[in-house]
A and B are shown apart, each in its own frame.
Chain A
């Protein structure tokens, strides 16, 4: 095995890693943010919203991410929508992540005790007030762990974007393998990079869960009261 080839190809590899991180950051933030209104619509909206969100979530959960990527890459131009590969891949990954995110967020919303909703109504809160002040602060901490596990799956999903002409890390790796005929070194490097990125996500999860925990919020309230 020759390890010096990594240094030789360092700029290309670094660019690939940056594109992967960019994809993951965009998918990781847009996925849950766009899924939240859908989850709220499914739990509190009118019947037609419920049915259409259910159909959307079922379709997105039953079709592989790779199929959605191909659909966005080949199918959208057929409909007259021309997007650069990076954008169409982002779109497919976000939509694919949303199918699961809707379920996790809806489960968190359902975990809020019904008595809480009744008390809000008794106190005369409007529905937006109730959702913002009472439901979400309790629902989000419940949804957080599964949302983050899904994020690690999304990170692995970004490697598929390389198959539809997005120059992310896995595409760079595959390109360098066919250029240098050194599959073992480059695949071991890819494995190491993805494991490091995943570990960063898991660390972020522990930070986020701590920030959302009742103890941390209580201590912050204490500090604010003291100041």
Chain B
């Protein structure tokens, strides 16, 4: 092997990664907030409206963004939207692109969770004289979220990993930072180990939250 491992480099270079880790977390959280808002809005509308053109649009939206590679969506936000006169910074276009992709998956999870609520619950809420907003807030959503939160956390782990694609549209998150440092330092092995370590820690913490949520909701449901 003609490669000398420089373990000291890992310790030495790690502080350089801290802003990149923060950027990854920020992009992930912003995309997560935006996508959950879209998915909630779409799923509530689709559940309360019944069959309508709007619902067909939602299924088309979900089919489209689950079918497209994230790289295509991100490059579209980054390269094609400016042609339509919409100027976005790399981070903004990454957040919007990642949110579009994630919202399609989250919409499907929430749609399934709405289906899992028995119709009797709606009838009972109506019989008790709940208004529609009150019925959703007090009766339906608590049941929907209980079913949906564990799978939503599974998908958020996937979304976290998807943020690495943002490095392809000039966002200097963990992956973008390691790419740059590989070019400068020519130490790919050590740098990729740092990147792997960062992602393993981040996604394992989401997995732990998911494990706790599953146990909690299983106990509450049983």
Contacts and interface: CB of A to CB of B under 8 A. Distances in A.
Interface stretch (B41-49, B136-144, B157-165): B157-165
Interface residues of B, number: 38
Given A67-B195, A187-B79, A156 B69 contact: yes
Contacts of B64: 195
B175 interface: yes
Interface string A39-72: 0000000000000000000110111111100110
Contact of A70 (B80, B157, B161, B179): B179
Nearest to B168: A163
A71 B175 CA distance: 11
B185 to A, nearest CB: 11
B38 interface: no
A174 interface: yes
A149 to B, nearest CB: 10
Contacts, number: 107
Interface residues of A, number: 37
Nearest to A199: B67
B76 to A, nearest CB: 5
A190 interface: yes
Nearest to A195: B67
Given A74-B192, A183-B75, A67 B199 contact: yes
B196 A63 contact: yes
Interface of B: 1-3, 64, 66-72, 75-76, 79-80, 83, 157, 161-165, 167-168, 175, 178-179, 182, 188-189, 192, 195-196, 199-200, 203-204, 207
27 contacts: A62-B203, A62-B204, A62-B207, A64-B199, A66-B167, A67-B175, A70-B182, A70-B188, A71-B192, A74-B189, A79-B3, A79-B189, A80-B3, A152-B67, A156-B68, A156-B69, A156-B70, A160-B71, A160-B165, A162-B71, A183-B75, A184-B80, A184-B83, A190-B72, A194-B68, A195-B64, A195-B68
Given A58-B204, A66-B164, A152-B66, 6 more contacts: A62-B157, A65-B164, A155-B69, A159-B69, A159-B72, A170-B69
